[in-house]
Amino acid sequence: MQNLTISTQPIAGQKPGTSGLRKKTSVFMSRHYLENFIQSTFDAIGGVQGKSLVLGGDGRYFNDRAAQVILRMAAANGAARMIVGQGAVLSTPAASHLIRLNRADGGLILSASHNPGGRDADFGVKYNMANGGPAPEAVTEAIFARTQVIDSYRVIETVDVDFMKIGAQQIGKMEVLVVDPVSDYARLMESLFDFPKIRALFANGFRMRFDAMCAVTGPYATEILENRLGAAKGTVTHGTPLPDFGGMHPDPNPTWAHELMDEMMGADAPDFGAASDGDGDRNMVVGRGIYLSPSDSLAVLAGNAHLAPGYRAGLKGVARSMPTSAAVDRVAAALGIASHETPTGWKFFGNLLDAGKVTICGEESFGTGSDHVREKDGLWAVLLWLNILAERNEPVVEILNGHWRRFGRNYYSRHDYEALPIDQAEAVMGALRTRLTMLPGTRIEGMIIAAADDFAYSDPVDGSLSKSQGLRILFEGGSRFVLRLSGTGTEGATIRLYLESYVAGPEGLDVEVQEALTPVIRAAEALAGIRAATGRAGPDVVT
């Protein structure tokens, strides 16, 4: 065993995005690339001497090798303890919980979330803070700054840790504690939800399908749904995590989870369906014959959370990302609690959660969570839905229709234009941005523009200001569209177009979504000209 200091030099492009650093797997496997970023992370957080960290990932290709490298570097940098999921695997919400449960100083999560996995696909690394949440912008900027000047990194030369052996091992003076990745998380879920009530639901013939998409949630869903709650064996499909996700795109939306959608829309559909993503922090929920947008799901969960034991005291407030529909705001108003609108990125919810200002948060990109951890949590959302279904004894479609009758309906959809040339995508955004001040008062497609801006957010807890978070065009009556560039891809640029049309009811609550949004879709193309500028016939993904 030998401590080494390896000379290196800066590598361009190591700037973390909203969810850490994501690149092609082959890039992370290239000489010094991972090591530079990890050493820069350690340096930017003031070193890891004497600290305790959590480590795990979604099991995608290169996960285990990257974990071995990180352990050796942590030991060489003086870390006291590393808590690692068995197999170097942890779902993102489980990692967040382990950080909080063990009062660790932070954690490293190896994942590119919903992006495809494999040697020719994507990989990622992000650092989470002691609260269990993603590093804030000040930290990610410090990491990036360090990557630009790094000249060496430290590593111990030693044999591999046995990731399959539960218990303590040593690398030099550093303890490596390999833990069951599921058990602590499952106990947390039992403390929040009425497991006996949900178990009775399944015992009475309730049928469910959960598509784990060959990703990390498979073992968690199998243990909780089938083993602890008594769902029929086979309820969890694609339940074995694979390095390439079995060739699947582990993004739980109607496009990529098409097997689940086909089954739920079929003649003999189960009562309830759900899917989760690569690292377990996203969810899609489907009823028999009906798909729920993430925005609607968030609103229904907020309106019914009091039915679960962990939330019977009521909600302190709710928060949503700016592109997410305003449906949950209407629930908050009815409950007499605050609602917050933040930029995209779960890290923006962290301050609100830590300050006790909100209980439930959500993003339109299939992410929902609460103050039980500091990450979105796909399986948590599914279990809350099951608790609500068990208490209300109504099918999903009746719960959703009742919600719309009470609050009105926010028709909502997201259109993604993926892998565009970066200059082309930026030109679309820039052209609309220059016109924002001239748009209020303009009539288009029968609607009048009430306001237009480039969204900025002033954090009510620490006063930090985040600018240029997305272009908003708001119409009188509650309809709108939003344009923003995504920060989760590894090549090119993705323009996300968010479309929303509000109908108060009682009429007009059962129109097909894209039909209801037609005027807003046309207005967005007339004003932003995405198709005209890119030559695309339409979006690549519609959710």
What amino acid positions are annotated as catalytic residues?
A: 113
Cα–Cα distance between 139 and 130 in angstroms, integer?
13
Cα–Cα distance between 274 and 247 in angstroms, integer?
20
Cα–Cα distance between 540 and 532 in angstroms, integer?
15
> Quick one: three-class SS letters along 463-522?
CCEECCCCEEEEECCCCEEEEEECCCCCCCEEEEEEEEEEECCCCCCCCCHHHHCHHHHH
DSSP assignment letter at 309: G
Residue 157 CB-density burial (10 A; 0-12 exposed, 13-18 middle, 19+ buried): exposed
Cα distances (angstroms) measured from residue 347 to each of 18, 134, 243: 8, 5, 27
Cα–Cα distance between 39 and 36 in angstroms, integer?
5
DSSP assignment letter at 134: B
Cα–Cα distance between 29 and 202 in angstroms, integer?
45
Residue 333: half-sphere exposure toward Cβ, Cα within 13 Å: 7
Cα distances (angstroms) measured from residue 304 to each of 287, 307, 308, 392, 417: 16, 6, 8, 9, 34
Which residue intervals of 148-223 are DSSP H helices?
Answer: 183-192, 195-203, 217-221
Residue 431: half-sphere exposure toward Cβ, Cα within 13 Å: 15
Cα–Cα distance between 201 and 518 in angstroms, integer?
40
Q: 260 Cβ partners below 8 Å, 6+ apart?
A: 209, 211, 237, 273, 274, 275, 284, 286
Q: 83 Cβ partners below 8 Å, 6+ apart?
A: 52, 53, 54, 55, 98, 102, 104, 177, 179
Partners of 283 in beta bridges: 276
Token pair in block for residue 379: 């399986």
454 in helix, strand or coil? strand
Token pair in block for residue 71: 């352990």
Cα–Cα distance between 467 and 458 in angstroms, integer?
9
Sheet holding 338-342, edge to edge: 338-342, 317-321, 360-363, 367-370
Cα–Cα distance between 500 and 478 in angstroms, integer?
8
Cα–Cα distance between 1 and 209 in angstroms, integer?
49
Cα distances (angstroms) measured from residue 310 to each of 202, 306, 490, 530: 21, 8, 38, 45
Q: Chain-centre distance of CA 522, in angstroms?
A: 29
Residue 527 CB-density burial (10 A; 0-12 exposed, 13-18 middle, 19+ buried): buried
